[in-house]
Structure 1
């Protein structure tokens, strides 16, 4: 039963896993990237040819860009909650009439970078009408080539569309019936980067922003913008050869507030046709001069950018009528003179840019409102001492990168706070230079030619001074001058620090070149520190020597202790080696003794003689218990024998015993007396057959004959009687009979 239950559980689990896998495979999030609530689905760059199955109906943003879709998917109608649909960068070439049915929530449709080449393939009069909330339609980067009428039909019809984007669509003309007449709620129309040369018949009562930059427009009819009564923003930049003004053609728009005609090579401008204009960008053109009352009809203009032109001169009434102008940029022109009262025509002007012009002198200009004045890079070499008196609201004056060689005394301004003289040729200032600038907060003189160190008294009348930039000058460091030390403290010490100490570099004398003021004059300003430093140096040297000696002593002590410790360790190791060797030697001797005790008697290992050997063995003359009893006993006397026998008796006995034949002629010479006196060797104990062999050998016989002194003519018979003696007790050790040297078996 338990086994059946386990099998059932396994089957159920496998079924659940298979169900989960099937659901995951059918879910679009298995292929695409979905948000947690599955309202945002990103299927871009998946190589899809259609919308994957399993997308939830609650999805609101669907990205199908960069795929292989060639036609609008049929299952798109099911996504009735869709708000944004991106089908860009696909291969769609046509759209059916009912492509957007049931998509009443759609607000953004991106069809850019597809294969549309005709408006008819879009069914423009039908396919947008079901999307009643569509706001933005992007058809850029297609190939429509034209926006002409379609047999007197509307080009696009949508009651809700607000933004139409047709950038880079190869459109060359707009003719006939207006393409915007069917878009009753259009707000933004973008047709940038097209080879469009003329705008004609563009009608829309609701259009507010029109973008036609980077086209080929050369002119606009004077009444062309009048058909756009709600137009506020007009961008026509990067249209080479565009003309906005001529004696017979002046473009007019009463609603236009923002105009951008930069990078258009415009030579003459007139903004009289735009009375409500607020912001005008006319930079990077070729305007050469400005006429009188050129902006008389632009009383609401607030921002005017005329930079990067060729304007050479201004008239006193050029800017008349610009009562609300706040920003005027005339930089990068060729202006050499500005009339004194020309700026009074702009009572609201706060920022004036005159950078990169040819104003060689700062004249007596007047302005009641200008607070920021930029006159850098203007080759100014003269500045009058009353040149700032006409600037009643001037706060920031930039005169950097000019040719000024001096600052006139008593420059007067009750409002000036920041004065920039960087990178000029100024070499000296005095007590009266900044005396009439009571609100001065920041002064920059970087990159000038000052050599003499300033004095603190130069700024006695500037209590609000916070920043003083003095770097990159040719200061001469005279450390004996007390004024230098006083000014250094004034500039670098807290709480009113005005400059970093590392920016003050000496340029002379030669021995101090490249050093900071503090490095060059430290010991001159602090002589006690110098003496203290000398004593401290001596004490430092003494302490270093003593410390070095102590270190060497400590090193020697440590080395000796280490040597002693190593020697003790070496002796201990040798002692342990000797003890180990002794233990091994004792173990080896014990093993040898045990082997000797357990070894069998060598006499028992001798095999008994064979039958033939037994027949050749000598016969015993006496009865004995063993062969050993015959010869091993020292105290036993041989029975029936004399101690000495003569040669005759020996011969007779030999013949009698039959050991020596009669026919044998042996020469037995009597041995000398010394040889007879030589002690006989103690016979070894051998086995019976070994004894017989040894006694019957010729050498033994000859030696015996010589011992008994027989002559060579006598023949005798020698009877060898082996003496066999059994040991009285067992012996564990065997000693040599010949000498007292120990044998190998003794160990």
Structure 2
């Protein structure tokens, strides 16, 4: 195919324009993706290095994702989005307080301002309908006492990964907050908040060394508190809360508890003490005031099973007996002394306080042999008694099948019928029909010869082939009838 110079020059002139138009078109398509998430319209404008809102976004958008862009302030065009439910500004450069036009958003539920550059949070005096506020991963070190009073519907607040060292006790008093997350901040002690709605407080990894006994008394609805991964060494006596159910003290430096540690927590149900410094096995009396305790986590403690009394076994039974409070029984293992290392508490108790039980195990084979001999003797005596009782009863002997030379088929085995004859009465007609039939007639039998003795007390009956049988005669000549076996062919 030949291309003249003019056509080639035209293509070379149009090619940059085509490429430029394609790039512009692709970039525009990559700006924001709007789609329906169920019945909710969502616009995804994340990771586009935006500094202003694109004009292509519909004002009916309900979920707007502007995360990981270059917004330094809240854009003015945002005030037209009155149907917003979720607004995500995470990963930008925001540091200003919330604009007033957000107060007109009646459907707003979640505002994510995490990973920005806030260093304080102040009150604007404007009422907001926000329900979930995420201020994590900022540099907040100061918060106004009334900063959250302007959010009457706020129930979830995330202030984790900031630089908060202390908070006023009444900072959440006028709010309806239920969950507060303060993970990875710095506190000198467990903060004492005053709240009638707070149920879940997370203070993990805050370098807290001190746990005041009255820190929970003003939180009248607290159910869960997470104090894991701190440096707490002592659980205070009479830690008081009438509502607390879940206490997480895992991965601290606690080495001991006593009977007063949880005595003022009557509704305690879940206790997490993993990864601490416990060595001494506790007494079951330590939990006598916790009738609802159902889950205990103890993994990561190096228990010492030296010098314990029966308390070791009782505590093991308390934790493992159904319903088991410790689901991971392998966490109840001994790490010292050497003779019981890696044994369970129960095995260590048996080996330490019942050494004779091991020696008694050598007599077990002898005991088994004696038991077998006694069992055989008793069985033999019982079998003999049963055999003796059975010998007094008539035994029906089956007729074996006989094969003849003419007929190889065996004779059918007759059926044995037992006829109970009534005492002192002749057989009935039906009974007579079932009685055995004689092989020959009565007249073919030899005559009976009665020999009367002098005293006439005995009668001797004799027939050919029969043995002489002398029987005493009674005055009553009626014979005693017994059960007769009849073989019916």
Same fold (TM over 0.5): yes
Q: Could you report, residue by residue, the CA deviation over 1:27-53 in whole angstroms, capped at 9, with x for unpaired residues?
A: xxxxxxxxxxxxxxxxxxxxxxxxxxx
Tell me whether 1:389 sits opposite 2:222 in the alignment: no
- Cα separation, 2, equivalents of 1:242 and 1:486: 63
**2:100 counterpart SS class:** coil
1:330 to 159, 180, 194: 159
User: Which has a greater percent of helix?
Assistant: 1
The answer for the alignment partner of 2:339 in structure 1 is: 511
The answer for the alignment partner of 1:309 in structure 2 is: 138
1:184-195 equivalences under 5 Å are: 190=33
The answer for the alignment partner of 1:289 in structure 2 is: 120
2:361 to 533, 542, 558: 533
- Cα separation, 1, equivalents of 2:33 and 2:249: 46
Residue 342 of structure 1 deviates from its aligned partner by 1.1
- Cα separation, 2, equivalents of 1:531 and 1:496: 32
Residue 473 of structure 1 deviates from its aligned partner by 1.6
The two structures have a TM-score, normalised by structure 1, of 0.43
**1:494 counterpart SS class:** coil
| Partners of 2:310 and 2:349 within 8 A in 1 | no
1:201-240 equivalences under 5 Å are: 209-220=42-53, 229-239=59-69
- Cα separation, 2, equivalents of 1:250 and 1:508: 69
1:426 to 251, 254, 274: 254
The answer for the alignment partner of 2:92 in structure 1 is: 264
| Partners of 1:316 and 1:340 within 8 A in 2 | no
Q: Could you report, residue by residue, the CA deviation over 1:136-168 in whole angstroms, capped at 9, with x for unpaired residues?
A: xxxxxx93615xxxxxxxxxxxxxxxxxxxxxx
Q: Could you report, residue by residue, the CA deviation over 1:451-502 in whole angstroms, capped at 9, with x for unpaired residues?
A: 2221111111100011111222232213651222221221122235435432
Tell me whether 1:346 sits opposite 2:225 in the alignment: no
The answer for the alignment partner of 1:279 in structure 2 is: 110
- Cα separation, 1, equivalents of 2:133 and 2:360: 67
Q: Could you report, residue by residue, the CA deviation over 1:628-671 in whole angstroms, capped at 9, with x for unpaired residues?
A: xxxxxxxxxxxxxxxxxxxxxxxxxxxxxxxxxxxxxxxxxxxx
Residue 381 of structure 1 deviates from its aligned partner by 0.4
Tell me whether 1:243 sits opposite 2:46 in the alignment: no
- Cα separation, 1, equivalents of 2:339 and 2:92: 59
RMSD: 3.2
1:538-687 equivalences under 5 Å are: none
Residue 264 of structure 1 deviates from its aligned partner by 1.5
Unaligned runs of 5+ in 1: 1-115, 120-141, 147-168, 175-188, 193-206, 542-747
The answer for the alignment partner of 1:700 in structure 2 is: none
- Cα separation, 2, equivalents of 1:538 and 1:500: 38
| Partners of 1:383 and 1:408 within 8 A in 2 | yes
Residue 173 of structure 1 deviates from its aligned partner by 11
Distance of aligned partners of 1:497 and 1:173 in 2 relative to their CA distance in 1, 3 Å threshold: closer
| Partners of 2:178 and 2:197 within 8 A in 1 | yes
Distance of aligned partners of 1:335 and 1:452 in 2 relative to their CA distance in 1, 3 Å threshold: same
| Partners of 1:287 and 1:309 within 8 A in 2 | yes
The answer for the alignment partner of 1:170 in structure 2 is: 27
Mean alpha-carbon deviation: is it higher for 493-502 or for 360-369?
Answer: 493-502
- Cα separation, 2, equivalents of 1:293 and 1:525: 70
| Partners of 2:240 and 2:265 within 8 A in 1 | yes
- Cα separation, 2, equivalents of 1:293 and 1:389: 31
Q: Could you report, residue by residue, the CA deviation over 1:205-254 in whole angstroms, capped at 9, with x for unpaired residues?
A: xx954332221222459xx89x9653433221121x202349xx695243
Distance of aligned partners of 1:215 and 1:456 in 2 relative to their CA distance in 1, 3 Å threshold: same
Name the structure, 1 or 2, with higher relative contact order (CA <8 Å, separation 6+).
Answer: 2
Mean alpha-carbon deviation: is it higher for 515-524 or for 396-405?
Answer: 515-524
Q: Could you report, residue by residue, the CA deviation over 1:235-278 in whole angstroms, capped at 9, with x for unpaired residues?
A: 21121x202349xx695243333211111232334143212222
- Cα separation, 1, equivalents of 2:222 and 2:99: 29
The answer for the alignment partner of 1:414 in structure 2 is: 242
- Cα separation, 2, equivalents of 1:330 and 1:497: 33
1:143 to 5, 9, 22: 22
**1:383 counterpart SS class:** coil
**2:349 counterpart SS class:** helix
- Cα separation, 2, equivalents of 1:376 and 1:363: 12
| Partners of 2:335 and 2:341 within 8 A in 1 | yes
| Partners of 2:97 and 2:122 within 8 A in 1 | no
Aligned residues: 345
Mean alpha-carbon deviation: is it higher for 364-373 or for 479-488?
Answer: 479-488
- Cα separation, 2, equivalents of 1:521 and 1:411: 32
Distance of aligned partners of 1:191 and 1:118 in 2 relative to their CA distance in 1, 3 Å threshold: farther
Distance of aligned partners of 1:480 and 1:190 in 2 relative to their CA distance in 1, 3 Å threshold: closer
Distance of aligned partners of 1:243 and 1:511 in 2 relative to their CA distance in 1, 3 Å threshold: same
Unaligned runs of 5+ in 2: 1-16, 370-489
Residue 374 of structure 1 deviates from its aligned partner by 1.1
